[in-house]
Every structure is written in structure tokens, then in C-alpha cells.
Structure 1
Amino acid sequence: MSTATITTEVTSQHDDGALPLSEQVVVVTGGARGLGAAITRAFLSEGARVVVNYHSSQAAAEEIAAAHPERALAVQADVRDAEQVRSLISTAREHFERPVTTVVNNALVDFAFTGDARSKADAITAEEFEAQFAGSVTGPLNLIQAALPGMREAGQGRVITIGTNLFQHPVVPYHDYTAAKAALLSLTRTFADDLGPEGITVNMVSGGLLRTTDASAATPEAVFDAIAAGTPLRTVTTPEQLADAALFFACPWSRGVTGQNLIVDGGLVKG
């Protein structure tokens, strides 16, 4: 069956753009480790075809792909490089013989959640801000634009961005990270308005400190305990719990939702 035939059949079956997860081709940036790996595995568990994008974590990405040889593909690309991202989307299309319909902008470039070691207001540099904007804003922009032709062909699309609850609760001096994620929230909402008439939704999932990822592994246990005590659920959110929310924004149940920021942190921050 040709790609055009597959696309026509899929689109005709779901005129409202609500493509089941099992029929989606998903790209998860930074999808081999930490939160990204949890999101990748969540989509795979629902039958989706998933491109596990990685920058340097080749072994981890290929391990996931090897465990799901028919439905997972590991592809290296630096999301900050538009040409590499276009190649990523092209490779996904060729491999799965259908367009990418869902993208998850998860990649986090050169950042560690070590509050005491982060630059304070009197010392942080423009270069630190620029580095975070390149990863958290330019990267998602590159991926969305590269995937748009395929989404338009399929007659629907899902864009999911990963944010932070530090917008509302800036308790640690992650100035560059939080500013870049705030810009990503703006992009999420303006792109939702721009792309909505084409059946493409754009939403954000914002977590807090997660227990546990590579990025949060250096966090003292006392900090985890303090956060847990401040939540109605009395626990720290796991990567798997946040991944569940990403699935919601990709699945047909969210077909009427766009431009939203869903906070997944056990109720610590009230949105």
C-alpha cells in the first residue's frame, strides 16, 4: 500500500483530526533518557510508532529501538540545527512510510538542576540565556516547522511542548531555563492560534522536580521530601506520571484542547 493511500484512509476515518495513538508517528526529542524515555515508552505502550531522537545518548536510544524493532527508530539530530531536524523528519517518513503526526519537544540542552551551582541574578550571562533559548525555543521551532508539511498532509497534528512549574513557583534560581520555557509557553499559545484552523493542536505539559531523572539525580533527598510534603498527594511526580499527560494531549480525547499549559506536579502549584 502506498503512503498516499495510507494517508487518505487515515484522514477519511478521522475527519475531526482525532487520530488514535496506535496510528500516530511520534517524534520525541531527547527521547532516550529521563523524562524523554518515559514519554517514548508511554507512546510505545499504546501502539504508536516512535522516533527516539537523541543528541549524544546513542546507546540508550538504540536500546529502546532494539526492544521495539517494528515501532521504534533511533535517530541522531541536534534540534538546534534546522537542517538536521528536517533530515530527522524525512528519515521518519521514509522508515514508517507515513508522515509524522505528533511531535514532543522534550530535549533539554546543556542544563543540570543543581540550584546551588546555578548563576544568580548578579552573575548570569547573556550567553547562558542564549544557550537555553537555542535549545528550548529554536529547537521546538525547528521541529514544528519540519513536521508541518506531513501534518497538513495527514489532515491533523499534535504538538506537545515540555514546560515547567517554575513560571508560577520560582523557588530556585534557574533564570535562563525558566525564561526560555516561558518563551516556549508563548510560542505554544501563539502557534495554537495560528495552526488551529488546520486541525493542529499545540499544548504544553509542565512538571516540577521529577523523581528521578538524570537531570534531578543530584538533588538532595531532603529537597524531594520537602516538595512531597507540600503537595496534596504527598509525593513527588514521576516521569511516568508526566508522560501520561503527554499521551492525553496526543490522543483523541484532547481533540478540543489547544493552547493550554497543564501543570503536573501533584498539586504543588495551582495553575
Structure 2
Amino acid sequence: MRDRVGYYRNEDELEESFKPWFRSLVQDFKILSKEEVPDFADWGTFYRTISLDPGVYLDYLYTECLLRGVEFRRKSVHHVREVATIALPAGAKPGIVVNCTGLWASKLGGVVERNLVPMRGQLVIVENQSNGIYYLSGDGTFRKEIGECCYVIERPAGGGTALGGCSYESWDVTPDMALAERIMKRAIKICPQLVPEGAGIEALRVIRHQVGLRPVRNGGPRIEGEVLQDKELGNLHVVHCYGSGGFGFQASYGMANKALKLVVEALGGQKS
């Protein structure tokens, strides 16, 4: 568990209108008064929550799947029907395809999701420790409306600290070094313990600059089943599960559980 501190300006969000859906799910939630936050903020929040290192966590999930007999194959496909025939014995009919292609559902034949947009996110991963998670709603140099944001996320198990960030529509995955500099300066502002007292971004030990594209879907995630008609395969059952945007890890268990129910229904099974 990690401490999570959020700093807010009234011009970005008023305390009385702040009603987080997760309030009852986290530990020790409380509102911070003006006297409890730095001068650049009007109020804040504090609670304890989970933090993870995506690389470590994904390796764990991968290992758990292997232990349960899941077979992984790396292959390029252009249409969802191609997935249905991979590794099938001659003459066998596919049971079901679960489409978790994320942003690439916008380009996959048989799907071509028009409501998906690539929401660019940029991070600076540093060795420095933040001893917590921090967020700032705005400071006059940026607002979420212009696609830049400010947060610091400590990654456990030696994963360093992620400094962010941005969120705007783009397919460009080339790091913007000017943005990286702004990210680092803002991170030190809201989390001064990242560096020795009085030091600047030169004291940040940068591991890498990282850009990712969040699979944001207008209308929210798509978790539904459909039957595709195919001359060779007949009725091909497909369950779609994609479009989580920037909350994929957070929503993964709930989305997977709903998708699993659709798979069981499509196969004519009973819920255990």
C-alpha cells in the first residue's frame, strides 16, 4: 500500500463538488484543508491505495497463465477470423475468439472499431524515490483541457518512480523532450523529496523516457459478444473486451469477469 496525496486548485475543481466513486474502497480517505497543503494548492486529498510495477505484474500474470496450461503464440493477423484457425487440428471448428486487441481493434478486420482513439501518454521513469503517489490538478502552466497533467507514481519492487504526463489524441510515440522537461520540473514541485533540498531536475536519475497510447473508446469499454458469419468457419462466436483507456489495470478484473460470463454463455455452459 502507498500514500496517495492529491493537490487541487479551486479553479480546477471545488472541494464540495469532489465526490470520488472509490472513496469507500481505499484506506484512510480524508480531505486536506488549505492549511495542510502547499501554497500552490487550495485543498487536497489523502488516502492509501495500491501501486504496482506494470512490468513485474505482467510477468506474474504471464507465469500464472503458463502454470494453468495456457499456450502463447506471437503472430500477426489482419482479420479476426485468422485467430480462430491458429493451431486448430485439420477439420476442427473453433470454439470462440476473445478479442482483447486494445487500440488495434480499430484496424483489425472483422472489427474495425471506429470509436477508438489513441490517447498519448508520456512518462519519465527515474531511479529517485517519491515515497508515495502525488497529483496536481493545475498550476497555471498546464491544465487537463490542454492535454498535460502532473503526477508522480512510486513503483514498488525496485521499479523506480513514474513522472507524468499528458493525455491527448495522437499516434506519435516519439518522446517529446520539451514536455519531458516540464514533467520533471512539475514533479519536483509537488514531490520535493525526489531530489536533495534545493536541487533541480539535474538531480533526477533518468532511466528512460516512455510513451504509450491509451485505447480510449468513445462510449466506454466494449465488452460484448457477437456472432460473425463466415463461409468456411460458419458461425464464429467473438467476445470483445477492449477500450479501457488509461484505467486498464484498475478495471482488468471486472472487465475480464464480465467477458468470461459472455464466453460461458456463448459456449452454452452454466455459470459455476
Q: TM-score, normalised by structure 2?
A: 0.28
Q: TM-score, normalised by structure 1?
A: 0.28
Greater strand content? 2
Q: Which of the two has higher C-alpha Rg?
A: 2
